[in-house]
Amino acid sequence: MVRLDDKKKEFAIDVVAFFFGNMMLAITTNIFVVPNNLAPGGLVGAATMLQTIFGFPVGWTTLAMNVPLFILAHKKIGHSFLIKSLFSTVMYNVLIEVTKPFIVQFGFEYKGDILLTSVFAGLLGGASSSLIFMRGGTSGGIDIIASLLSIYNSHISIGKLLLILDVIVIAISAFVYDVEKAFYATVCVFVTTKVIDAVMYGVDVGTGKIVFIISPKNEEISQKITEELLRGSTKLKSKGSYTGKEGEILLCAIRRHEVFQLRSIVNSIDENAFMIVTDAREITGEGFKKTPVSIQKTTISDNNTASNSNQETMI
C-alpha cells in the first residue's frame, strides 16, 4: 500500500498544480478574453456572452452551469477524477472573480490587437489547461463533456473533442457579437487545442509509452488499470532466470501524461512492483492513432493474395 507520506505528497502536488494552472487560466480570461468580448468556446465563452447581454458575472455564472455537468459525470467518471475536477472548477471560477478587481484596477486588461489577443489567450489557456489535465483534473464545463465523450471515442484526442464542442459555442457568439469576433475566437480555440495536444501527447498523437510491470499482484493491477485509466493490458508469460519461477509480465501502452497515473495505480497495490517504462515511437489502434487507410488496404490486398496463393497450391 502507498504510505501516508506519499499520499500527502501527491495531494500537495495536485493542489499546487491546480492552483497555478487555474490562476493562469483565470488571469488569461480576465486580461484577454472578457475585455475583448471573445467567446472561445466552453462554458466560459457562454458566460461571457451572458455577461454582455444580462450583466451576469462570468465566474459565478460558469460555476452555476457546471452543477448539472458534475451530476452527470458522477455516474460516468471515476470518483478520483470527479473530486479533482470539482476542486479545480471551483478554484478556477473563484479565481476569476477574485483576480478581476485587481486586473481592472491596475489596468492590466489588454484591448490592443485582436489577433495577438487571440493567439496569446490560446497559448496561455492551452498551457494552463494542460497542467490541470496532467494532474487528472479539469476546469469543468466542456472539459468534462470532452472527457465523457473520450470514454466512448478514445481514438480522438481530448484536444480535438474540445475543438468540436467549442465550435458550437463560437457559432452562437457570431450572433451575440459579430462574425469577426467569432473568427478570432476560432483562432484562440485552435491555438489552445494545438498547445494541449503538444504538451500532453507530444507532436504526434500516436506516440506514447510502453510499460512493463512485474508483480505477484498483476491481476489486481490489471483490473484497476482498466477501471481507472480505461486502458487494456497484455499478460506475457515469464520465467525468472535466477529463481526459475514462472509468472506474468503486464504490458501496457499508454499516453505520456498517463505515466503518473499508472505509477500511482501500481504503487497503491504493490509498492515493490518492478516497472520498466520505455518510449513508443508510434502506437496505432484503439485509444491511439488510427491505422492509415493505405496500410489497411495493403494488408487486405496482401491477405487476399496469400489466400489465392494457398488455393492454387491446394489445387
- pLDDT score at 201: 62
57-86 residue pLDDT tens: 999 999 999 988 888 777 766 677 778 888
For the chain, 315 residues long, give each residue's pLDDT as a single digit of tens: 455 567 788 888 889 999 999 999 999 999 999 999 999 888 999 999 999 999 999 999 999 999 888 887 777 666 777 788 889 999 999 999 999 999 999 999 998 899 999 999 999 999 998 888 878 777 777 767 776 776 666 566 665 776 777 788 899 999 999 999 999 999 998 898 788 877 766 655 556 788 999 998 999 999 888 887 778 888 898 887 777 788 889 999 887 767 777 888 898 898 888 898 887 766 666 656 565 544 444 444 444 444 444 433 333
- Whole-model pTM: value is 0.67
| Cell numbers for 104 | 481592472
Compute the distance between CA of residue 118 and CA of residue 115 in angstroms, rounded to an integer: 5
Class in CATH terms, 208-280: alpha beta
Q: Which of 96, 94, 73 is nearest to 85 (CA)?
A: 73
List CB contacts of 143: < 8 A, sequence separation 6 or more. 42, 85, 129, 133, 158, 162
Compute the distance between CA of residue 25 and CA of residue 245 in angstroms, rounded to an integer: 53
C-alpha to C-alpha distances, 156 to 134, 150, 214, 248, nearest whole angstrom: 17, 7, 30, 31
- pLDDT score at 279: 76
Residue spans of the domains in the chain: they are 4-201, 208-280
